[in-house]
Amino acid sequence: MSGYILPLALWLLVTLAIITIAIWLSKRLGLILLEVLHALLVVTANITVYKTFTLAGLIFTGGDLTYNSAYSLLDVVHRRGGYERASRIIWITLAANIAVALFLWTVSLIPRGPGDFLGEAFDTLFRMDLRIVASSMLSFLVSSRVDVWVARRVGIEKRFFRAFLLSNLASAVIDSVLFNTFAFAGVLPLLPLIAGQFAIKMLVTLSNFIFIIYARWLDARVSPEP
């Protein structure tokens, strides 16, 4: 277990730093910066989902580390830009993920040249399993729509912290159940996989309170750029 502490702590610090800086810059450059970062986080999660590790008897994927940061960032966009803008970013991010998957897949079909010692690893990683890709896209779309719906129902403009926590809780449950059921049923044990992913997503959500508190403080000082 000790071998996981340093890399996980490093990941947490890097992710929180990048998102916090982006939230600060978005006051000057506009919400488009957070929209781009949201798409980048989800693309990263869909690539790193192929890396799995076991901790305390639970199974995790690399994508679990990033997904809920994307949902948390979506809440910041929702509060600043409104429900319609938050809904739009979901479709933009979905389109970006489909485009990246197609780019990587087509490149993986190109025959390897002599001396291409990394080509096999590239092809293995990016000649993606259609089942996993489809499961990822479906779970992202459904859980993200639920996230913005819950946040809107709670009243994210006035109850930011409560909306953030409840919307992330709902999206974490739905994403963990949908993705793992469709992607890994019959391949990996579902219960420890779902439990592990939900647990780490909620831990990430709690750590995200750092930039959520910062975003609220910043919004109270300066009006957001369009």
The rounded percent of the chain whose pLDDT value lies above 70 is: 96
Residue 226 pLDDT greater than 70, yes or no: no
The pLDDT tens digits of the residues spanning 51-70 come to 878 877 777 778 877 888 99
Cα–Cα distance measured from residue 63 to residue 179, given in angstroms and rounded to the nearest whole number: 11
Question: What's the pTM value of the predicted model, to 2 decimals?
Answer: 0.89
Query: CA 72 to CA 68: how far, in whole Å?
Result: 6
Alpha-helical regions (H) of 30-63: 32-48
- Match 């929209």 to its residue by tokens: 35
CA distance linking residue 58 with residue 191, whole number of Å: 9
Lookup result for tokens 């798409």: 39
Helix (H) or strand (E) holding 49: none
Average pLDDT, integer, range 63-79: 90
What average pLDDT score do residues 151-175 get?
94
Judge whether 180 and 197 are in contact, CB under 8 Å: yes
SS3 for 177? Answer: helix
Distance CA 81, CA 14 (A): 26
Q: Are 184 and 190 in contact (CB under 8 A)?
A: yes
